[in-house]
Structure 1
Amino acid sequence: MVLVMKVGATQDEINKTIEQIKAWGHDVSIAPGEKQVVIGIIGDKTDLMGRPLSTLPGVAKVLEVSAPYKRASREFHPEDSVIDVEGVKIGGGHKVIIAGPCSVDNVENVVYLAKVAKANGAHMLRGGAYKPRTSPYTFQGHGEEGLKMLMEAKKETGLPIVTELMSISDIDVVYKYADVIQIGARNMQNFPLLKEIGKLDKPVILKNGIASTVKEHLMSAEYIMSEGNDKVILCLRGTRTYEPSVRNTLDVTLVPIMQKMTHLPIIVDPSHAAGKREFVSALAYAGMAVGADGLIIEMHNCPKEALSDGDQALLPRDFEYLMNKLKELKPWSQKEWWEFDKQKETDCIKVK
């Protein structure tokens, strides 16, 4: 349930309304908009039946939130969320590029790739220190030593660190080094892990599951947000389908669909979708063209020697080419489309 405040509602009116809702035993979430403030009421709404919500100070109207993912819903939070990572903003028109190796192998490579990423306009450095692998006999990551390598690259370039967390037992060590915690496809529905992440104050990139629906993806985000962490970035990395020519099938249609459903930033992972280097840039371009808030891309200076996923890692020259192409791109604006769509519903050209 949300309360839409009147245009020009005073801070005193907003505070009094919040105080009354809390006095009734409910928590609130505040979504400041360009013209109006929206107050989301969290918790079981049954005890609010009969309460004079519409007469609270400054309230314009009371709306039900139909989506089961309350905090992640755009009904609950009409304006785009903008997440700040050490000065790097994501969402609300702010585009972000995250680049780096799939797995951290050695400090020389990580520092070099971080410098390449920064020189070509990337905003953050990605790198895996803990790796979920299909086989238990393949490289599983360098652990904390890998995190230290990422920190060295950050010292050299200033790029914030994005790295994956796989287990509750590793939260403390990952929290120490990471600026953004990544939850991979295999852990999208690891609900105990999501709830623990929700207790942290670090931004989270949440990838969709191997065969998840949009609703399931958003409900997983809700697990994190229900514990208090609203700094969630959704990542589309494709889903497993019957098509064997790519690693996963990336449906870029989901970008505008999800933007209509949620206020959270949405980025695209073309590397895990393609699985093959030659297709990564095309998928990256497509994702940004339909209005994604950013990309997370794998890059390596010697892919054949990469410790994981070398086949899908861009070479530095490929990354430079892609970044130059993206500079020429005018991304689709979802807000512009919504306004156009509203006009289209009412327009009617009669031909005699």
Structure 2
Amino acid sequence: MGQVGECRTVFRPIEPQPPPVAVIIILRESATEDQITHVVERVQSLGLQAHLSKGTYRTVIGVIGDEEQIRSAPLAAIPGVAEVVAVQPAFKLASRTAHPEPSVIEVGSGKNVARFGGGHVGMIAGPCAIESAERLDKIAGAIKKAGATVLRGGAYKPRTSPYAFQGMGEDGLKLLREIGDKHGLPVVTEAIDPRHVELVAEWADMIQLGARNMQNFVLLTEVGKTQKPVLMKRGMAATVKDLLMSAEYVLSQGNPNVVLCERGVKGFDNACRNMYDVCAIPQTHELSHLPIIVDPSHATGRPEMIPACALAGVAAGADGVHIEVHNCPEDALSDGPQALLPEQYAELAQQIRKVAEAVGKTI
């Protein structure tokens, strides 16, 4: 019999891995050898690495280096280049790559906390604009009883017409805070001016960035500095990736508490106020860890369509529902025609709860 050899573990040094490719340059089929050489030399002159790969029909160049420098370099303008494709999303902090698990955003404090994301469905409801203490009090009491978890109301209103009601300003903020505390509801309201951000953050639990201000980058930066939860609505002509890039502005300031909102985009059909993009819900979840809610009030502008669209959003995976509620829409100073009555909201809230449970979520 042979002697049994001694078992030994051999440790081999780990070879350093090359940094990931940041972009891929796809060259035109008609690109000449001189153009290909020029592209490689141009990439290298920028202090970047170029990895050439020639196929039967296409030639591609993988570019490695500092992402900011790559993003700012006009690579698509080099002769012979057909397309420049980013391998990593530009919205690094908002992406699933940076944060694989879904984020849970908490709004409020103590017992009065609303949660969005990670299986939680938040229920935001209230009038478009804060009009009076008495009216807001009645609406808040009704939505709280129905199951709402956050009270909304606009103190500053960005209106298409300069002659329309612009909101109560600071007085409205104080009323919103007072009524929210009375009924045990966190409050959300919109900031429309960088000069108002500090004041809004003082009174609100969550700061809304409306569709018109989704790409107001100065405002996004200021709101990001507050560390307050942010409700960011999709712009009227914005893609999902545009929305995520805007969220990146807030996240880049160290504020991780962003909740996205699908509220419809401009379409060619005037049957509804906007085109309600339910596909944006699963698409956002695929691309980002941030929660996304739906706003069927602004999406449709038609009360009779709000319930179906709200339920469709929750069935598609929405992390919350934002609905305008008013106890006398015909007297509303803003967006009365698209508001639900308190009793209509109560009925819808029960239906939302059932759909949420059916897809494994809780309110």
TM-score (norm 1): 0.76
Partner of 1:126: 152
Structure 2 residue 274 is matched with structure 1 residue 252:
no
Question: Which amino acid in the other structure matches residue 88 of structure 2?
Answer: S
Unaligned 5+ residue runs, structure 2?
1-64, 70-85
Structure 2 residue 200 is matched with structure 1 residue 174:
yes
Structure 2 residue 264 is matched with structure 1 residue 242:
no
Query: How big is the alpha-carbon RMSD for the aligned residues of Structure 1 and Structure 2?
Result: 1.8
1:291-310, aligned counterparts within 5 Å? Answer: 291-310=317-336
Deviations for 1:222-254, whole angstroms, at most 9, x for unmatched residues? 011111111000000000110101001111011
Q: Confirm or deny: 8 A CA contact 1:130 1:140 kept in the other structure.
A: yes
Aligned-residue identity in percent: 51
Partner of 2:139: 113
Q: Residues 65 and 280 from structure 1, CA distance in 2 versus in 1: closer, same or farther, beyond 3 angstroms?
A: same
Q: Residues 45 and 274 from structure 1, CA distance in 2 versus in 1: closer, same or farther, beyond 3 angstroms?
A: closer
Structure 2 residue 162 is matched with structure 1 residue 136:
yes
Partner of 1:265: 291
Partner of 2:341: 315
1:1-352, aligned counterparts within 5 Å? Answer: 44=66, 66-85=88-107, 86=109, 87-329=113-355, 330-332=357-359
Q: Confirm or deny: 8 A CA contact 1:291 1:333 kept in the other structure.
A: no
Q: Confirm or deny: 8 A CA contact 1:300 1:315 kept in the other structure.
A: yes
Q: Confirm or deny: 8 A CA contact 1:104 1:128 kept in the other structure.
A: yes
Deviations for 1:18-61, whole angstroms, at most 9, x for unmatched residues? xxxxxxxxxxxxxxxxxxxxxxxxx95699xxxxxxxxxxxxxx
Unaligned 5+ residue runs, structure 1?
1-42, 48-63, 335-352
Distance 1:139 1:249 in 2: 26
Distance 1:44 1:176 in 2: 39
Question: Which amino acid in the other structure matches residue 332 of structure 2?
Answer: A
Q: Residues 46 and 219 from structure 1, CA distance in 2 versus in 1: closer, same or farther, beyond 3 angstroms?
A: closer
Q: Residues 242 and 166 from structure 1, CA distance in 2 versus in 1: closer, same or farther, beyond 3 angstroms?
A: same
Report the CA distance between 1:65 and its aligned residue: 7.2
Report the CA distance between 1:148 and its aligned residue: 1.4
Distance 1:167 1:319 in 2: 31
Report the CA distance between 1:331 and its aligned residue: 4.7
Q: Confirm or deny: 8 A CA contact 2:96 2:286 kept in the other structure.
A: yes
Distance 1:285 1:256 in 2: 15
Deviations for 1:236-295, whole angstroms, at most 9, x for unmatched residues? 000011010100111101101110100000000010001111111111111111110001
Q: Confirm or deny: 8 A CA contact 1:97 1:122 kept in the other structure.
A: yes
Question: Which amino acid in the other structure matches residue 105 of structure 2?
Answer: I
Q: Residues 45 and 93 from structure 1, CA distance in 2 versus in 1: closer, same or farther, beyond 3 angstroms?
A: same
Deviations for 1:142-169, whole angstroms, at most 9, x for unmatched residues? 0011111111211210100100000011
Q: Which moved more, 1:97-106 or 1:323-332?
A: 323-332
Question: Which amino acid in the other structure matches residue 105 of structure 1?
Answer: E
Report the CA distance between 1:328 and its aligned residue: 2.1
